[in-house]
Amino acid sequence: MKILFFHRWVGVHLGGTETHVRELAELLCQRGHKVSILTREGEYPKNLDEKIKIYRISKNILESDHSYESALPLYFHTGLFMLKSFLYLFYLRFIRGEKFDVISVHFATESLVCRIFRFITGTPYVFVLEGYTKLEADVAKSANAVIAISRHEVDETLKRHGYEPLYIPKGRQKIFNASVDGSQMRQKFLGDADKIIIAVGRIEPRKDYPSLILTAERLKRKGKKYRWLIAGDGIDFQKIRKQIDDRAMTEEILMLGPVNNADLPFFYRAADLFFLPTLYEGFGYVFVEAMACGLPVVSTTAGSVPEVVGEAGILVEPKDIDGFAYAIETLLEQNSIYNSARSKALEIASFYDWDRLILEYEKVYLEAGNKKDD
């Protein structure tokens, strides 16, 4: 079948949703489907299967490369993207003769476009809920099929909106595993520290990196010699870098910027612990990556984090700096607790097997495609 993945940001930067879209596209392509991606112009996605077509919507003048903007620019650029992508879909359908059996959308913006496009052409679409918000759950209800990537999202949607999405989590790439040799990377970054703690994720307000800085500072005052690595890019990158400078933590906390997906396993394996003081996660793809590489986790009780991490670490309330510091110190200095969490991490990560999960996604797309009206 012909499947179009439609997502604004997959062409612009890396992140959990963007990674999910890319992997779904590649795996379904490998299973013999004709797969395309419609996104905004940018430097991603890189190194995709050459059989996957990439269609790009031009960037607006003065448009940010991040979804966090002040209200007026956000609505203006989002509205313009919707109009341009709607016209582009019409161009593909009626000028180039591209008929898609199903379209996969992962956010409300693209879903609204597809709802109108379906009304005119009969093309069905699947909404994959990558995180719970009232807007997305409301909009998703109109899709031909709805997938939620966490049970937290399923429960929230059923409780607040009266319908139950199908639960299918994200899968784990096989490159993330505990047999990767991270010794050279560890030697590069450890220096005079005793342990390495890594955080991976977009540098944005929702991830709450200021709490990471405060936690690192708290443990430094206690005499702990930890090295902290932050891998990722985002709208708050310069802001977080300035906070690190202002607190004289540049020796302890290193901002790595965006890290190639193929290199990430080496960073995980170089570390002793994964720490992300997030304020909300619809799933938390990086937790699975880290756990698959054998890392215990310290994070928060927000969103789907407890569901994904389980007993593979210690979870505390968001913004609880004392709680974060205590959890990190406990795991890194009590071997029995650390080893138990590490064993659980490997066990939990094994559940997220793409070989199994891609069959479940494929079934949904096939069933939705059979509902096509034209």
The string of pLDDT tens digits covering residues 333-368 is 999 999 999 999 999 999 999 999 999 999 999 999
At residue 103, does pLDDT exceed 80? yes
Backbone angles phi, psi at 6, to 5 degrees: -120, 105
Structure confidence at residue 261 as a pLDDT band (50, 70, 90): confident
219: its two tokens: 């443990």
At residue 372, does pLDDT exceed 70? no
Residue 4's pLDDT is what? 98
Residue 68's pLDDT is what? 65
pLDDT digits (tens, 9 = 90+) for 202-239: 999 999 999 999 999 999 999 999 999 999 998 999 99
* Residue 117: partners with Cβ closer than 8 Å, 6 or more residues away: 86, 89, 90, 103, 123, 125
Residue 72's pLDDT is what? 87
265: its two tokens: 């396993």
pLDDT digits (tens, 9 = 90+) for 69-96: 678 888 899 999 999 999 999 999 999 9
Structure confidence at residue 160 as a pLDDT band (50, 70, 90): very high
Tell me the sheet residues that pair with 40. 57
Residue 44's pLDDT is what? 85
* Residue 62: partners with Cβ closer than 8 Å, 6 or more residues away: 73
* Domains within the chain, CATH numbers bracketed: 2-171+353-369 (3.40.50.2000), 183-349 (3.40.50.2000)
